[in-house]
Amino acid sequence: MKYFIIFWALLVVLVACTPTEPQQPIEQSKPVETTMQDMPSDCAGLKDPFQGFCVFRTASDTMDDKLCRLIKDEELLIFCLDHIENKKEQDLIQEKINIGTIEACKELSDDKHRFTCVARLAREKKDAELCSEAGSFKDSCEVLVAERTGNAKLCEDKTGKAADLCYQAAAYGSLNAGHCARITEEQRRSNCYFDVAVKTKDKSLCAKSTDAKICEAVAIHDVKACEKLGDEKQKDVCVYTLALQTKEVDLCKKLPPKQMIECITNVAASKKDKSLCALTGDFEPFCLNKVVLSS
Q: Is residue 260 one of the residues assigned to a domain?
A: yes
Identify residue 95 by its one-letter amino acid code.
E
Predicted pLDDT of residue 16: 43
- Calculate helix-pair angle for 2-17, 160-174, nearest 10 degrees: 130
Predicted pLDDT of residue 42: 85
Q: What is the pTM of this model?
A: 0.78
- 46-50 contacts, C-beta under 8 A, 24 or more apart: 48/72, 48/73, 49/73, 49/76, 49/285, 50/285
Q: Is residue 263 one of the residues assigned to a domain?
A: yes
Predicted pLDDT of residue 34: 64
Q: Is residue 86 one of the residues assigned to a domain?
A: no
Q: Is residue 174 one of the residues assigned to a domain?
A: no
User: Residues 231-254: what's their mean pLDDT?
Assistant: 96
Could you please report the per-residue DSSP string of 238-252?
Answer: HHHHHHHHHT-HHHH
Q: Is residue 119 one of the residues assigned to a domain?
A: no
**How far is 257 from 119, CA to CA, in rounded Å?**
41
- pLDDT of 23 > 60? The answer is no
**pLDDT > 90: percent of the chain:** 80
Say if residue 49 is preceded by a cis peptide, omega within 30 of 0: yes
User: Residues 52-76: what's their mean pLDDT?
Assistant: 93
Q: Is residue 151 one of the residues assigned to a domain?
A: no
In order of 71, 85, 259, the CA distances from 28 in angstroms are 19, 10, 40
User: Residues 35-43: what's their mean pLDDT?
Assistant: 81
Q: How many CB atoms lie within 10 A of CB 46?
A: 16
Buried b (16+ CB within 10 A) or exposed e, 181-190: ebbeeeebbb
- pLDDT of 209 > 50? The answer is yes
CA neighbor of 1 nearest in space, from 195, 243, 186:
195
Predicted pLDDT of residue 164: 98
Per-residue confidence band for 33, with pLDDT thresholds at 50, 70 and 90: low
User: Residues 6-28: what's their mean pLDDT?
Assistant: 42
Predicted pLDDT of residue 38: 80
- pLDDT of 266 > 50? The answer is yes
Q: Is residue 83 one of the residues assigned to a domain?
A: no
Predicted pLDDT of residue 295: 72
What is the number of structural domains in the chain? Answer: 1
Torsion angles phi and psi, residue 179, rounded to 5 = -70, -25
User: Residues 262-269: what's their mean pLDDT?
Assistant: 97
- pLDDT of 60 > 60? The answer is yes
Domain residues for the domain of 231 are: 221-295
Q: Is residue 261 one of the residues assigned to a domain?
A: yes
- DSSP tag of 255: S
Q: How many CB atoms lie within 10 A of CB 84?
A: 20
What is the helix (H) or strand (E) element at residue 259, kind and residue range?
A: helix 257-271
